[in-house]
Amino acid sequence: MKLYYDPISTTSRPVTFFAAEAGFALQLELVDLLAGETRGPAFLAVNPMGHVPVLVDGDFVLTEATAILRYLARRLAPDFLGRDDQEQARVDEAMSWASTDVRIWLDVFSVYPMALGVPAGLSAASIAEMQQVAAPAVRRIMTVLDDRLRNGFIAGGSITIADFLAFSYITLAELIIFDFADWPNIVAWLRRMKAMPGYGSTYAAFLGLVSAKVSQGS
């Protein structure tokens, strides 16, 4: 199966990290986000939304990180789906939450403006307001996640596809040197995920961005 991806993409890393941990190979096709390749005609013919990741399995083309994670897990690594109906429902709940609440409040409202600068069409003042509005929501998100991680992973005692997705959205906060100290279950979960053998290779490009930001800020 072929995966169109970019290692700096928050929605691509869950798929590549999951594949590395589950032990299956994907044929990786780089779509260079920073070079604008997601908006070129060749890639728009694959995904008219112009987004990575995209999975191609024969003539079946699948977009959306959550759908791709579920499809790959069903076909190749069912242990990562959750063990029963309720655990699978927790996985779905967490993936929906990560793709909406976490992405909007933590990433779009808080991290992107600080890490990437003021987007065209918005003023620095409106960005500051967005961040102020987002701050309590981000703390609530961390508190909810910390509680969900009380058994080690999001859906219980073993890792599922929801962990790979949430990990990517949550670690984006490292671009703004976010302090997780108030949430010990999150700190332990981050440490556990980062100790996995696939982390280093699938997060290398992102970690490069983090260290560039850190040295810019120091």
Ligand X SMILES: N[C@@H](CCC(=O)N[C@@H](CS)C(=O)NCC(=O)O)C(=O)O
Q: Which residues of this chain interact with ligand X, rule CB under 6 A?
A: 9-11, 33, 38-39, 50-52, 64-65, 99
Q: Report how far residue 211's alpha carbon sits from residue 203's, in angstroms, rounded to the nearest whole number.
A: 12
Nearer CB in complex with ligand X: 39/75: 39
Nearer CB in complex with ligand X: 10/185: 10
Q: Report how far residue 204's alpha carbon sits from residue 207's, in angstroms, rounded to the nearest whole number.
A: 5
Give me the least distance between CB of 64 and ligand X, in Å please.
5
HSE (CB half, 13 Å, CA atoms) of 198?
17
Give me the least distance between CB of 156 and ligand X, in Å please.
24
Give me the least distance between CB of 47 and ligand X, in Å please.
8
Nearer CB in complex with ligand X: 35/214: 35
Q: Report how far residue 108's alpha carbon sits from residue 112's, in angstroms, rounded to the nearest whole number.
A: 5
- Residues 99 and 165 sit within 8 Å (Cβ to Cβ): yes
Handedness of CA 112, 179, 101, 9 (dihedral sign): positive
* Closest CA relative to residue 12, chosen from 177, 168, 128, 183: 168
Nearer CB in complex with ligand X: 99/158: 99
Q: Report how far residue 6's alpha carbon sits from residue 33's, in angstroms, rounded to the nearest whole number.
A: 7
At 127, the amino acid letter reads I
Nearer CB in complex with ligand X: 3/52: 52
Give me the least distance between CB of 176 and ligand X, in Å please.
17
Nearer CB in complex with ligand X: 50/152: 50
- Residues 77 and 161 sit within 8 Å (Cβ to Cβ): no
Give me the least distance between CB of 206 and ligand X, in Å please.
11
DSSP state of 159: -
Give me the least distance between CB of 171 and ligand X, in Å please.
13
